[in-house]
Amino acid sequence: MLSESELIYERYKLFELVRKHPEWSLRAYAREVQHDPKWVRKWAKRLAGIEVVTDATLRSQSRRPKHSPRQLGERVKDKISELRETLSERFHRPAGAKLIAYFLGQTSDLEAEAPSLSSIYQTLLERGYIRARPKPQHTPLVLPAPNEEWELDFGEIYLGPVEGSLEFMLVVDKGTSRAIYIEGSAGYRAESAIDAVLRLFAAHGLPKRLRFDRDPRLWGSWTRDSYPAPFLRLLHALGVEPIAFDWYRSFIQGLLDSGSYVWFAKFVAVGETLVGIALIVGLFVGIAAFAGAFMNWSFVMAGTASTNGLLFAVAILLMLAWKTAGYYGLDRFVLPRLGTPWRTGSQDAPPVNLTRPAVDSA
């Protein structure tokens, strides 16, 4: 960026060029002084008609407005307040600045003093009709120490119909936002992904924490009966803390630290048993399916692959079909008796005579 002295010199060069070559175009001046044509237009207009330039003429000028904005009179402010109340009552909603400005334009005695939308907004703010928008609170991001937490992710680049696609693994240090490791492959599987992570650890050592998403190359899929996933077992064996979801990891860690896992495990076992019995006998299928889906989701969040994904999808279908899912179970008899929250328990309704009344032929 040029200093003020250098800018004054550039403007003086433009002044001399305009005096010597008044027939040149703005682009010709811009090429000669190596500045933008907009800059040349602005300063050529300022220097036009000046015979002798001074230091004050060539100095930068402030962009601050030369005149203070016109202040609204009390009469106009009272009219804005009156329109705010009458229009709000008329249209059954708070009248905004645009609506008030429209009706102010139709007032003949205020045509010369018609305020802008910002002036109307400031008047409404001053009179207490609206509240100022709160300024957003910016919380600074606390970054971990360098090489303490890494972020791992897989990506894919399409190279063309002949070359195909190239997959790559990228590892970035969260504390410094610098790339730690990158490598490419024709395709990563669960085994090759673990080999790539081992090469990463061999080359750059072990971090304290490793953050990654729920990629099936790391977690496995629901068709694999593995708990926890082999990649998680590898990280635990190496002493690296895996992070997929901070809040869920904090929840599990809280259960461990407080010793709540003793009663929570029994609670889960009893819940699974009750859900299974309810689904077998067809009793409250929708509620049981919701509880089962919640447990399947919890197991998936904790790193269990197995069949939880499939069971979660089946539970969703049972919840959607809760009215008929227990037709061949106890729901066929229980639900009509208990009713639903929007419909009280059924009492036997009087029979409706659907026979057509006889017509007298006479």
The whole-number pLDDT of residue 66 equals 73
Better-predicted residue by pLDDT, 339 or 350: 339
**pLDDT over 90 at 208, yes or no:** no
**pLDDT over 90 at 217, yes or no:** no
Alpha-carbon distance 142 to 296, whole Å?
Answer: 34
Instruction: Report residue 44: phi and psi, to 5°.
Output: -65, -35
Band of pLDDT at residue 309, cut at 50, 70 and 90: confident
Better-predicted residue by pLDDT, 201 or 220: 201
Range of weakest confidence among 176-185, 302-311, 346-355:
346-355
Q: Across residues 60-82, what is the average pLDDT? A: 82
The whole-number pLDDT of residue 235 equals 74
Alpha-carbon distance 181 to 173, whole Å?
Answer: 9
Q: Across residues 32-59, what is the average pLDDT? A: 86
The whole-number pLDDT of residue 360 equals 53
List the end-to-end C-alpha distance of the chain, in Å, as a whole number.
110
- Give counts: helices (H), strands (E), the chain: 16, 5
The single-letter DSSP state of residue 129 is S
Instruction: Write the pLDDT tens digit of every residue in 158-177.
Output: 888 888 888 999 999 999 99
The whole-number pLDDT of residue 110 equals 62
* CA nearest to 282, candidates 225, 239, 321, 242: 321
Alpha-carbon distance 23 to 1, whole Å?
Answer: 30
Mean pLDDT estimate for the chain: 80
Band of pLDDT at residue 305, cut at 50, 70 and 90: low
> Which helix (H) or strand (E) element contains residue 12?
helix 4-20
Q: What is the pTM of this model?
A: 0.39
CB 220 within 8 A of CB 190: yes
Three-state DSSP class for 268? helix
Q: Across residues 312-326, what is the average pLDDT? A: 82
Instruction: Write the pLDDT tens digit of every residue in 116-170.
Output: 888 899 999 999 999 888 888 888 888 889 988 899 988 888 888 888 888 999 9
Alpha-carbon distance 129 to 95, whole Å?
Answer: 10
CB 132 within 8 A of CB 125: yes
The whole-number pLDDT of residue 87 equals 92
The whole-number pLDDT of residue 268 equals 83
User: Distances from the Cα of 18 to the Cαs of 56, 103, 194, 341, in angstroms?
Assistant: 19, 51, 70, 86
- Output the DSSP codes for 308-347: HHHHHHHHHHHHHTHHHHTTTSTHHHHHHHH-BTTBPPP-
Range of weakest confidence among 8-22, 87-101, 187-201, 256-270:
256-270
The whole-number pLDDT of residue 241 equals 65
Q: How far is CA 318 from the centre of its chain?
A: 31
Better-predicted residue by pLDDT, 99 or 344: 99
The whole-number pLDDT of residue 333 equals 83
Q: Give the best-scoring range by mean pLDDT among 97-101, 109-113, 312-316.
A: 97-101
The whole-number pLDDT of residue 219 equals 61
The whole-number pLDDT of residue 221 equals 44
